[in-house]
A and B are shown apart, each in its own frame.
Chain A
Amino acid sequence: QLQLQLSGPGLVKPSETLSLTCTVSGGSISSSSYYWGWVRQPPGKGLEWIGSFYSSGSTYYNPSLKSRVTISIDTSKNQFSLKLSSVTAADTAVYYCAANIAVPGHDAFDIWGRGTLVTVSS
């Protein structure tokens, strides 16, 4: 059973880069059966898709965040990571990592990790 474990700092200063890592267990990050993504939820607001990484190496980002986001994978550690640069208070949110089953036409976030609150504050 695929499981995702998120890690990273809970506090980031304004203008700095937010970095989170999601460790995959019960499956391989290199598998073409899944693609990997990030979703966030600002306090009191709904969920927002940040971006996704495909086994082909392609990445797709939310256009509103694209200039600041990088998603990458580390096959040696079976992890994928999120970097969000130049953060402001508006980036304060609970961040989730998720895995989507890679089937054409299947747009669901099938498996989620437990979220972590990241606060942007000096």
Chain B
Amino acid sequence: QSVLTQSPSVSGAPGLRVTISCTGSSSNIGAGYDVQWYQHLPGIAPKLLIYGNRNRPSGVPDRFSGSKSGTSASLAITGLQAEDEADYYCQSYDSSLSRWVFGGGTKLTVL
């Protein structure tokens, strides 16, 4: 079981908006540690999408946005495109475990 909880799957039609949630606890997200999001296509290196809860690295489209509230965080993707079909992972730090932790991943299917 991953320390950060994500729904296993989410789907949406092209052009629409989806959100992916990441639920933690008082020792990680709720403790104020930042949340990062990664996009992972099979056989390809994971790609950083969001860092520091809501910041996008250079080159990441503004269709991707992140937010955080309490012990949870969310990744929103607007204007869904076929190329967005991938696995998405959240990541933070856990003070009780003294290590970086990841969510179990959410598979996005573009219908």
Contact = CB atoms under 8 A, between A and B. Distances in A.
A107 B33 contact: yes
A45 interface: yes
B48 A109 contact: yes
Interface residues of A, number: 22
Contacts of B104: 45-46
Contact of A114 (B44, B48, B102, B105): B44
Interface of A is mostly: loop
Contacts of B105: 46-47
Interface in B70-111: 89, 91-93, 97-105
B23 interface: no
A107 B99 contact: no
B38 interface: yes
Interface string B6-23: 000000000000000000
A16 interface: no
A112 B45 contact: yes
B65 interface: no
Given A46-B103, A112-B45, A112-B47, A105 B34 contact: yes
Contact of A109 (B34, B52, B91): B91
B57 interface: yes
Q: How large is the interface on B (under 10, 10 to 19, 20 to 34, 35 or more residues)?
A: 20 to 34
B102 A47 contact: yes
A49 B99 contact: yes
Contact of A107 (B2, B34, B97): B34
Interface string A91-122: 00000100000000111111111110000000
A48 interface: yes
Given A47-B91, A63-B98, A63-B99, A106 B51 contact: yes
15 contacts: A46-B2, A46-B104, A47-B46, A48-B102, A62-B99, A63-B97, A64-B99, A107-B33, A107-B36, A107-B91, A109-B38, A109-B48, A110-B48, A112-B46, A114-B43
List of 6 A-B pairs having minimum Cβ-Cβ separation, nearest first? A108-B51, A47-B102, A112-B45, A46-B104, A49-B100, A46-B2
